[in-house]
Structure 1
Amino acid sequence: MSKEMLNALDTLEQEKGIAKEIVIDALEAALVSAYKKNYGQAQNVEVEFDMKKGDIHVYAVKEVVDVVFDSRLEVSLKEALDINSAYELGDSIRFKTTPKDFGRIAAQTAKQVIMQRVREAERNIIYNEFITYENDIMQGIVERQDHRYIYVNLGKIEAVLSKQEQIPNEVYKPHDRIKVYVTKVENTSKGPQIFVSRSHPDLLKRLFEQEVPEIYDGIVEIKSIAREAGDRAKVAVMSRDENIDPVGTCVGPKGQRVQAIVNELKGENMDIVEWSADPATFIANALNPAQVINVTFNEREGSCVVVVPDYQLSLAIGKRGQNARLAAKLTGFKIDIKSESDIQDSLITKDKAGLERTEDYVSAVEETMSAEQESDATEIVENVEDSKDFPSDIEVEDEFQEGILTSGEAEEMIEIAEAEDENK
């Protein structure tokens, strides 16, 4: 029995990667439970496993006291001195109490507990192994699928690929080999749970690291990624070496590097653009393949207006606005795209509005001046009437010509002057 036990421990360590010490700790705890259950022993039981011989020994630990109240827990000082004269009050003595049939009972009782500990140890090993792959890429084999997940075999464990993390319109069949991005590793009560993705932007980053040695070495850096999985993606790259073209490096000879990534993602289109510290240049690059004439920023709103040639407006916006949308995600700016003719029409409209405002101002000034002139004329008439010092016809006519008097006021003053002359 002892040799079989040691051989079993060696097999577990070799095949499962579980250290002997873990299994022995579980075994000792299980044997204590078995002894207490079958023999009604109190809490003072210890089980010892001999690593060399494979023997199991059960000990009852008793305290040395003057008067024994519970023989299961205590031993008298006299009995202790008979065993060893060095014992004193308060010491603990171990008594070997291994029953003859304990091996059979212990095996039956401890089996489930040991298996549980073994499973827990296996789970911890798997968790510790796969937690290092979190935020990294792995290759797996599609096993099966249900209405919630696609299950991908990663070797020692199955990962789950939810519908939200799948590439739209991509069909997964059993035994298909796919590359997935590990988004999260959880250690649950049912064991490690691994969540993977095919639509995550960082999947694209890891694929470029695999295909482009310069990115893996850090010579070329991916600054940002904007992706609509299964359809199109934009990648902004920069080079730390002036002699290396970042875009050409990522594309590869005859497009081989980027084509390998496109094939892995089932035909997803790739736009690789050069990153720039100048926001205007970066936005112009991000809207590739459209040409950009001018970029105007609104720093408060974090937005910009991009002017493109009339014939490239639809190209800049893209199908269903995709090109502009991806460029906005890539650069972090809200992008409003305008054609040259739209900008010119807008300027003309502003000029007309400014001219109208100028004409309105002139009219308002003229009306104000006319009103002031009439007021001045009325004041003159009133003053003349009060003083009875009427001006001559020539003076009235001159003031009328100068615009000081209205025609009615001038005629009234002339009539008054004539009447005064008759009275004289």
Structure 2
Amino acid sequence: MIKIGTALFEACEELERERGISKEVLIASLCDAMVAAYKKHMHVKEAANIEAILDEQTGEIGVFSTKTVVEEVEDPDTQISLEDAKEIDDEVEVDDEVKIEVTPEQFGRIAAQSAKQVITQRIRDAERNNILNEFLEKKGTLTTGIIQRVENRNVIVNIGKTDAIMPQKEQIPREYYKPGNRIRVFVLNVKETNRLPQVIVSHAHSEIVRELFELEVPEIEDGIVEIKSIAREAGFRTKIAVWSNDPEVDSVGACIGPRGSRIQTIVGELKNEKIDIVRWSPDPVEYIVNAISPARVVSVDIMTDDEETKDALVVVPDDQLSLAIGREGQNVRLAHRLTGWKIDIKSVSQMENEEASKTANYEYNEEVQDEEERPVDSDEIQEEIEEEMNQQAIDEEDMAQEEVEEETSEEV
């Protein structure tokens, strides 16, 4: 056994208190490192049954080899002769196993190096695991950080024990991310790496809006008001559908707050992003009407309603068409994502023109059909043929007369 002192155990206990690294894990790791070092320096086969034992009371550590008792030794790393085994235990027999201390005399330096390496590595592993576990618990929630820098179009945000990455696609368009500014972000993903865990955050995720409403609206936190759906184009506009489980509580009013205080706080956090609070309804027609707001709706026709396709035709007044569609189709696009319905928007004039066109086509088709279906009169057909033949004869006679007149004119 080699004396390494009790200071090692005191260091292990301190690491357990300050960094949450288990003392038992540290000691087990140290013993594993001692075994690996022994096999390497003593050129012992990997198959050899070697273990290191550390005595916490005395501060001593030793390396032991468990060998099988045989009549004739073929592999010294795993076998021991019966004669040598009896010097250890006179009652031992062939095929028994004996444990022999094999600690080299000059193993103290190796033990000290191994202890240092193991503790250093375990500290790194523990820090990585602590960060990993902490942010795995935060995954899918909001956290606050400080912008560090912009690197390769990614925004680096310090969120406590590590720096998180905000990819370009998770950033709000046209927003300037100034180093040193505080920012509230959504923990999107946590990836384990060989070094520190990689935390991916978002400033554009729709769940940020959900979290903000849960923070600002007590009725949502208490479960009285429920957020049914969110559709967001970060930095521009968000539609959020809410529903009250209590008939006495107005879901939209609760989200707006007294004198608009709640919604103003949320809008301020989102840098003045427009927010439409939509009253959710189990009736698809009513839900679509609410989702198209602030535009007024004349009618909603459900065209198809099945699991694969949900199509609806929405008719709006002429002066509301551009508002219903929105700039570059934003309003109807968000309404589609909010409700899950494919929405086709048309004005009253467009519908009237289409109806007039359909009516004209229908009348024309009816006339053609009547003409095709009129009974055939054989006498009438005969008269038409005779008229055509007579007209043809007259035309031929006129042509002949013209030729004669031309010839007479030339002779004169």
Do they superpose with TM above 0.5? yes
Q: Which moved more, 1:186-195 or 1:67-76?
A: 67-76
Question: Is residue 2:359 matched to residue 1:351?
Answer: yes
- Give 1:39's aligned residue: 42
> Offset at 1:268?
1.0
Change (3 A) 1:370 1:118: same
Partners in 1 of 2:287 and 2:189 — Cα distance?
A: 33
The partner residue of 1:23 within 19, 22, 26 is: 26
Change (3 A) 1:369 1:96: closer
Partners in 2 of 1:242 and 1:277 — Cα distance?
A: 15
In structure 1, the residue corresponding to 2:146 is in which secondary structure?
A: strand
- Give 1:374's aligned residue: 380
The partner residue of 1:205 within 196, 205, 210 is: 210
The TM-score, its normalising length taken from structure 2, stands at: 0.84
> Offset at 1:181?
1.3
Change (3 A) 1:71 1:223: closer
Partners in 1 of 2:327 and 2:254 — Cα distance?
A: 28
Question: Is residue 2:276 matched to residue 1:274?
Answer: no
Partners in 2 of 1:2 and 1:154 — Cα distance?
A: 40
- Give 1:332's aligned residue: 340
- Give 1:185's aligned residue: 190
> Offset at 1:165?
0.5
- Give 2:349's aligned residue: 341
The partner residue of 1:316 within 324, 330, 346 is: 324
Change (3 A) 1:340 1:64: same
Change (3 A) 1:82 1:169: same
- Give 2:402's aligned residue: none
Deviations 1:300-331 (A, max 9, x none): 65222211112222221222221111111111
- Give 2:85's aligned residue: 80
Change (3 A) 1:348 1:45: closer
Question: Is residue 2:92 matched to residue 1:91?
Answer: no
- Give 2:176's aligned residue: 171
Partners in 1 of 2:243 and 2:237 — Cα distance?
A: 20
> Offset at 1:87?
2.1
Paired residues, what number?
Answer: 380
- Give 1:158's aligned residue: 163
- Give 1:215's aligned residue: 220
Deviations 1:177-219 (A, max 9, x none): 2121122222223342221111111221122222222222222
The TM-score, its normalising length taken from structure 1, stands at: 0.81
> Offset at 1:113?
4.7
> Offset at 1:352?
2.7
Contact 1:45 1:60 in 2 (8 A): yes
In structure 1, the residue corresponding to 2:184 is in which secondary structure?
A: strand
- Give 1:413's aligned residue: none
Partners in 2 of 1:44 and 1:370 — Cα distance?
A: 110
- Give 1:13's aligned residue: 16
Q: How does 1:117-132 map to 2 (within 5 A)?
A: 117-132=122-137
Q: Which moved more, 1:60-69 or 1:244-253?
A: 60-69
- Give 1:233's aligned residue: 238
The amino acid across from 1:8 in the alignment is A
Q: What residue ranges of structure 2 are gaps of 5+ in the alignment?
A: 385-389, 391-412
In structure 2, the residue corresponding to 1:194 is in which secondary structure?
A: strand
In structure 1, the residue corresponding to 2:197 is in which secondary structure?
A: strand
Q: Percent identity?
A: 46
- Structure exhibiting the larger radius of gyration computed from Cα positions: 1
Change (3 A) 1:40 1:372: same
Deviations 1:33-92 (A, max 9, x none): 222333344534321112344321222333322234555543333443343333222222
Q: Which moved more, 1:273-282 or 1:347-356?
A: 347-356
The amino acid across from 2:11 in the alignment is A
> Offset at 1:109?
4.7
> Offset at 1:112?
3.5
Contact 1:3 1:54 in 2 (8 A): yes
Compute the RMSD of aligned alpha carbons. Answer: 2.7
The amino acid across from 1:331 in the alignment is T
The amino acid across from 1:374 in the alignment is E
> Offset at 1:373?
4.7
The partner residue of 1:304 within 292, 312, 318 is: 312
Partners in 2 of 1:92 and 1:284 — Cα distance?
A: 83
Partners in 2 of 1:36 and 1:370 — Cα distance?
A: 111
Partners in 2 of 1:82 and 1:3 — Cα distance?
A: 33
Change (3 A) 1:148 1:307: same
Contact 2:278 2:290 in 1 (8 A): yes
Partners in 2 of 1:364 and 1:7 — Cα distance?
A: 107
The amino acid across from 2:241 in the alignment is A
The amino acid across from 1:134 in the alignment is K
Contact 1:238 1:274 in 2 (8 A): yes
In structure 1, the residue corresponding to 2:6 is in which secondary structure?
A: helix
- Give 1:263's aligned residue: 268
Change (3 A) 1:377 1:143: closer
Change (3 A) 1:199 1:372: farther
> Offset at 1:108?
2.5
Partners in 1 of 2:87 and 2:368 — Cα distance?
A: 125
> Offset at 1:123?
2.1
The amino acid across from 2:254 in the alignment is T
Question: Is residue 2:73 matched to residue 1:59?
Answer: no
> Offset at 1:114?
4.4
> Offset at 1:371?
3.9
Q: How does 1:385-404 map to 2 (within 5 A)?
A: none
The partner residue of 2:6 within 3, 6, 17 is: 3
